[in-house]
Amino acid sequence: MLLLNTNIALIGAGMGAGLVTLAAAYGIGKIGTAALEAIARQPEASNKVQTAMIIAAALIEGVALFGVLICLLIATR
């Protein structure tokens, strides 16, 4: 019974890590799309848009890193 629970935890951790990665990729893609559209509309504001885009992408990457780390900690427990 303990082996079955361990296998289920490993499967759940792997699925969770994959889901976190896909969600982060989707979020960063949406940020990139919105930034490019904003720069196309107002090219003079490209520096401000680019700075905001990089900060938002870094925050998403940080949350994704924590999510993957938690999934790996569950898997190795």
Q: pLDDT digits over 19-72, tens only?
A: 999 999 999 999 999 999 999 999 999 999 999 999 999 999 999 999 999 988
CATH number of the domain that residue 30 is part of: 1.20.20.10
Q: Which helix (H) or strand (E) holds 77?
A: none
Indicate the number of domains in the chain: 1
Cα separation of 17 and 68, whole Å? Answer: 5
pLDDT, position 61: 94
- Residue span of the structural domain in which 9 resides: 2-76
Residue 20 pLDDT: 93
Q: What is the pTM of this model?
A: 0.80
As a whole number of angstroms, the distance between CA 24 and CA 31 comes to 11
The pLDDT of residue 59: 95
User: How much is the pLDDT for 56?
Assistant: 95
